[in-house]
Chains A and B, each alone.
Chain A
């Protein structure tokens, strides 16, 4: 059993007490500690900036050309906070409760409550940085509602909330770069974690421009490297989003928790052909005004505008009258799959449902809808060539977020002392399903308000002395990293990296996607193994290791996805229940809803690496629910 180190005391006092109990580093001594932060999205940039403000020396890394490009930038809809500015009954406890319930009771109570507590500070912080949130005519902040909640608690900046929040964190980071407290390494990718006596002491990186392998030593390492949705090849993640940093840390001893918990987002633009390189999300906020429907009849040939009202099935409103189109993401996605499986899907591929704004435009006028969603409508038109003001959007679920990630305790520390994981790269707060507008909240909560406290507790107990990068542990990691790249370059096979990535994605989507079966998963496990073997004998990687080489970067990332994929399948096979985004067809209610097994599976499954080609070992963290009652989630 894993120890989550959740502090004692009543739920609402845990964090306050913990903040008092953790060890502090005296301000003058903070400058004696170096911290490495990998990733500069919301979690990484906010952590880097805050740690530097406190006085630590920070080295920040990102593979993009600038910290401002991290994929947090693409988050559209908004960020939740329990401000209760709308006077509609919101509270910290309600946000906590909604998040626990939305996550289908597979997250840690104390973490989620802390998240809800600091959510209010995030909004204050961002406004002070000059983040231009949407406002009402009176000059106060505006809110909108999001899936899985019956209150309006989502703060937003048109359809570009992630961008504005990231640019806020990026500006705070830039200020510390200018102050000399953060040393920024853009276009630099982490290839390995370096541990000395079992503690994280640095990383090995590759300069993506020159190809140089370098070592960086520090007193603690923070991974804020995002999610691994690109294991599916097609996802809403950025092309560069990858699992490499987290996976290599996993191989150095960090447990990987709930890897199969993947969020399939219900409102994405459907695939248009084999050339598709990524999927584009249409913000969930669209479900505030858009109505989801399919024709009642199979094989409907008419244009959507020509189908009369009584021949349409607004299936979400019909099945879930209380939440309607605003049911949580997993529920909305699964229902889209059901209607398409029934043959009632629309569009050329029959793998899409309508999201219709005709009623909203009639009710509020086109201008109002344009003001709310203009940029999303433009984007949709750009990609599909159709005008959503005149004809319903076509949408289909797509991989969007991974709730699983590196296992962390209450302090966000992984099982490797001195190694922390924040944001999407950890598993902590969203259980088996994340609510909309909660990822931005978690990333910033971790980076601004949680990690800066908890990392001090570890650093206060470690010596000022820094391990030299000449230490054999660094040399060994460097050599391993180089050997891995050389091996990839020397295969000189016949198929491209993208070919293998696409194949892997197809296996994962078909068997470990929106719904899973024991049989399918077992089959997929073998398929992934075979594909991995083939990859290592037949992939073709062009160029050399000592130059800017995009093929090599891709190959290196895909080699890790090929290992992660198998672990995801193992995890999905192990969890003989359905919960949130993890839907095992064998375990469902008569109405087709996810059927949890709280008696046997109310735990976090944290996998421990056992060496190449050995099955990983399952460790469990028992989830204790002392404040909420576990019930069958109902959005009816």
Chain B
């Protein structure tokens, strides 16, 4: 396969950045999208040019590090996969592919296609945990949890923190990410003690990071590589309103 690539190049956060066009050929349909970029980078490096910088690590769709906006969609044309799991068989010979970084106030560009997603860490630090110290916990089977609840909590917990939800949302809202963690812990008995405080603090942090509001377009869930459901956002809103109405935090 021969492809034309239009890739966003930006030296660092301060740099203005612009698109550059590249041609690659001999691309096998069995390659992953990132392997295709590897081929380009080897070409560039051999010529003495700066390779395209992009985030990637596990290359099996679970670490959440890869983050490319490909032809107008986060993680490219396929639903339910990360960029690293996208394969070139999803493209055709002669295609032009435009690759951009995630665009959001909360995700400043570091270089080329790499963005800073530490805002997500700070949101988790605001309350995305159960405050138990190591040791002294009750036996794991002491509290039975209905399978359906455990499964639903798991479905929310599969979030990989890649930020595709923010990238896809026209408002750059982080609601799906935040709601996934709030949901997981609101569903499980272990999360009950800090339930209200967690919702209040995490949402306050989400707003402080400059993410937009949810307008229920559903783009986040449609682009989420783990298919996290919109019902989590409804649950987050419920948790938030309940907490605001009844928490001790006056």
Query: In the complex, are there CB atoms of A and B closer than 8 Å?
Result: yes
* Chain A residues near B (Cβ < 8 Å): 46, 49-50, 53, 64-71, 73-74, 83, 85, 121, 123-141, 157-158, 160, 162-164, 167, 170-172, 174-175, 177-178, 184, 186, 209, 236, 238-240, 272-273, 275-278, 280-281, 378-379, 382-383, 385, 448-449, 452, 494-499, 540, 542-543, 547-548, 550-551
- Residue B64 CB within 8 A of the other chain: yes
Q: How far is the CA of A543 from the CA of B50 in the complex (A)?
A: 7
A385 and B34 in contact, given A68-B121, A164-B154 (Cβ under 8 angstroms): no
Query: What 1/0 flags go to B157-176 for Cβ under 8 Å of A?
Result: 11011000000000000000
A66 and B62 in contact, given A136-B147, A550-B53 (Cβ under 8 angstroms): no
- Residue B150 CB within 8 A of the other chain: yes
Q: Is the CB of A127 within 8 A of B49?
A: no
Q: Which of A66, A275, A540 is in CB contact (< 8 Å) with B48?
A: A540
Q: How far is the CA of A548 from the CA of B14 in the complex (A)?
A: 13
A49 and B134 in contact, given A68-B64, A69-B64, A74-B62 (Cβ under 8 angstroms): yes
Among the 9-residue stretches B25-33, B215-223, B230-238, the one with 4 or more Cβ atoms under 8 Å from chain A is: B25-33
- Residue B132 CB within 8 A of the other chain: yes
Q: Is the CB of B30 within 8 A of A66?
A: no
Q: How far is the CA of A71 from the CA of B188 in the complex (A)?
A: 26
- Residue B93 CB within 8 A of the other chain: no
Q: Is the CB of A50 within 8 A of B121?
A: no
Q: Is the CB of A542 within 8 A of B49?
A: yes
Shortest Cβ distance from residue A598 to the other chain B in the assembled complex, whole angstroms = 38
- Closest A residue, CB atoms, query B129: A171
Query: What 1/0 flags go to B82-120 for Cβ under 8 Å of A?
Result: 000101010000000000000000000011001011101
The 25 sampled A-B contact pairs (Cβ below 8 Å) are A69-B63, A73-B160, A74-B63, A83-B140, A124-B139, A127-B140, A130-B185, A135-B144, A135-B150, A171-B130, A175-B129, A175-B131, A178-B125, A184-B121, A239-B57, A275-B38, A277-B32, A277-B35, A382-B85, A385-B87, A495-B46, A496-B42, A498-B42, A547-B12, A548-B111
Q: Is the CB of B51 within 8 A of A64?
A: no
Q: Which of B45, B63, B117, B150 is in CB contact (< 8 Å) with A134?
A: B150
Residue numbers in B under 8 Å from A69 (CB-CB)? 57-58, 63-65
Q: Is the CB of A275 within 8 A of B147?
A: no
Residue numbers in A under 8 Å from B45 (CB-CB)? 496-497, 540, 542, 551
A135 and B134 in contact, given A175-B125, A275-B39 (Cβ under 8 angstroms): no
Residue numbers in A under 8 Å from B138 (CB-CB)? 124, 128
Q: Is the CB of B48 within 8 A of A123?
A: no
Q: Which of B42, B46, B61, B188 is in CB contact (< 8 Å) with A132?
A: B188
- Closest A residue, CB atoms, query B88: A275
- Closest A residue, CB atoms, query B126: A178
Q: How far is the CA of A70 from the CA of B46 in the complex (A)?
A: 30
Interface of B is mostly: loop
Residue numbers in A under 8 Å from B61 (CB-CB)? 379, 382
Shortest Cβ distance from residue A31 to the other chain B in the assembled complex, whole angstroms = 16
Shortest Cβ distance from residue A74 to the other chain B in the assembled complex, whole angstroms = 5
- Closest B residue, CB atoms, query A121: B135
- Closest A residue, CB atoms, query B37: A277
Q: Which 9 A-B pairs have the closest CB atoms?
A: A139-B144, A171-B129, A128-B137, A132-B154, A127-B140, A178-B125, A238-B57, A50-B134, A132-B153
Shortest Cβ distance from residue B2 to the other chain A in the assembled complex, whole angstroms = 15
- Closest B residue, CB atoms, query A131: B157
- Residue B190 CB within 8 A of the other chain: yes
A66 and B120 in contact, given A130-B191, A275-B39, A551-B45 (Cβ under 8 angstroms): yes
Q: How far is the CA of A319 from the CA of B231 in the complex (A)?
A: 50
Residue numbers in B under 8 Å from A378 (CB-CB)? 80
Residue numbers in A under 8 Å from B118 (CB-CB)? 65-66, 186
Residue numbers in A under 8 Å from B145 (CB-CB)? 135, 139
Shortest Cβ distance from residue A562 to the other chain B in the assembled complex, whole angstroms = 18
